[in-house]
Amino acid sequence: GQNIDQPTEMTATEGAIVQINCTYQTSGFNGLFWYQQHAGEAPTFLSYNVLDGLEEKGRFSSFLSRSKGYSYLLLKELQMKDSASYLCAPILNDYKLSFGAGTTVTVRA
Report the interface residues with another protein, using CB under 8 A: 30-31, 33, 40-45, 48, 50, 87, 89, 91, 95-102
Least Å distance, CB 65 to another protein, is 18
Q: What are phi and psi of 52, to 5 degrees?
A: -60, 140
E strand spans, 8-65? 9-13, 18-26, 32-37, 44-49, 53-57, 60-65
44: helix, strand or coil = strand
Q: Nearest to residue 5, comparing CAs of 74, 106, 105, 98?
A: 98
CB-wise, 72 or 86, nearer to another protein?
Answer: 86
Least Å distance, CB 15 to another protein, is 28
CB-wise, 42 or 109, nearer to another protein?
Answer: 42
Count of all residues that appear for the chain in the document = 109
Least Å distance, CB 76 to another protein, is 22
CB-wise, 13 or 93, nearer to another protein?
Answer: 93
CB-wise, 18 or 47, nearer to another protein?
Answer: 47
